[in-house]
Structure formats: C-alpha cells, structure tokens
Structure 1
Amino acid sequence: MSKRFGEAMRLMRRRNGQDCETGFAMLKPHAAEHLDELIEEFHREEDDQGLRAWLLELIGEAGDPRALPLFVAHLDDERFGDWAIWGLEKLDTKEARTALYRHRSNKHT
C-alpha cells in the first residue's frame, strides 16, 4: 500500500467530514493508480456504507475495465446501484453498454 493511499484511507475513515473529503480528494486524481487497492478496500469494508459508496465512486473514476464485474454485481443493489450504473457509463465499453442495456431491459419487464 502506498503512503498516499494509506493516508487517504485513514482520513476517509475519520468522523470529521472535512477529513473524509480531504482523503477522497487525495485519491480522486490517482484512482487509476490505486484500482486494485480500492477494490480490495471496497470488499473489505463491511460497516461503513458511505465509505463503500465513495470507494465505488473512486473505482469508477479509474475508468478501468477490470472494474466491470464489480459494477455489474452491484447494479441491483439499492445502496450502490446508482454508482454501479455511473461506473459502467464512465467505462463506456461494449461490455459495459451491454450490461447497462440488460439491466435497463430487466427493469422494464
């Protein structure tokens, strides 16, 4: 784990809202560099659903097709579905568009 990632995660876990925002802002421009760590943290975090949503947003910021399975897995999750859709739209690959099409088709059946 890089020093930047560790510090950003420490801040994002604090109770002070400004610290959380600072940690998020530290990672946002570097999300692609930390994709594997972000995915690992998303799976590891069980209690803080707000932090999980932020992690999913950062994973989407990475714009990496390796995140496709994570987004697809959370399409129907009422807590994270909007972020999963956003992540797939941001990916804008054939596979992501197909997943979105299927998801939207299933919603209207």
Structure 2
Amino acid sequence: MTNRFRDAMQLMRSSDPQKQEDGFHSLRPYVADQIAELIGEFRREHEDHGLRCWLLELIAEARSPEALPLLTEVAQYEDGPLRDRALEALTLLGTKEARQVLWRIRANQPIR
C-alpha cells in the first residue's frame, strides 16, 4: 500500500467532510493502479456506509476486470445504494463477463 493511498484513506475516514472529499478526489487519478487496495478496503469496511459507497464508486472508475468478482457479489446485495453502484460499475466495465452478470441479474437467474 502506497503512502498516497494510506493518506487518502485516512482523510476519507476523517470526521471533517472537506477532508473526506479531499481524500476521495486525491485517489481518483490513481484508481486503476490501486484497484487491489480499493477492493481490500471495501471488503474490510463494514461500519461506514458512505465510505463503502465511495470506495465502490472509485472501484467502478477503475474499470478493471479484477473487480468483477466483487461487483458481481455486491450487485446481488439487498442494500440499494451499494447494489446500484455495482450495477453501474458492471455496465462501465463493459466486458463480456460483466454483461453476462448483468443479464443474469436482470433475468433473476443464479450467478455462478
């Protein structure tokens, strides 16, 4: 984990809304390079719903096939905001596999 990523995550966890925004926006240019770290943070975070939404938004911006398993999982959540972000991320990903997942979800078929 880079110092930049660690510092940005610290800002995103701040109680100061401006620092949270600063942390989020400081990561945006580097999401493709930090996809594994973003996925890891998403999986570890269970308390701050807003942070989870932001992490998923950054993961979506990366448009990385590495995120497909996570996006597939989250797209099936009952949590509407997270599910909606995952569905949008799958659409942005645009791979054959992502389109298959979207089709199965829309057809209410089990995902393998």
TM category (shorter chain) comes to over 0.9
Taking the TM superposition and a 5 Å limit, the aligned residue runs for 1:68-79 are 68-77=68-77, 78=79, 79=81
- Percentage of identical aligned residues: 49
Give 2:7's aligned residue. 7
* TM value normalised by structure 2: 0.91
Runs of 4+ that moved beyond 2 A = none
Give 1:99's aligned residue. 101
Q: Note the C-alpha offset of 1:76.
A: 2.4
RMSD: 1.2
**Count of paired positions:** 107
Give 1:56's aligned residue. 56
- Structure 1: how far apart are the matches of 2:40 and 2:74? 15
Amino acid at match of 1:106: N
Gaps of 5+ in 2: none
* TM value normalised by structure 1: 0.93
Q: Note the C-alpha offset of 1:106.
A: 1.4
* Structure 2 counterpart SS, 1:33: coil
- Structure 1: how far apart are the matches of 2:76 and 2:68? 14
- Structure 2: how far apart are the matches of 1:38 and 1:24? 11
Gaps of 5+ in 1: none
Q: Note the C-alpha offset of 1:105.
A: 1.3
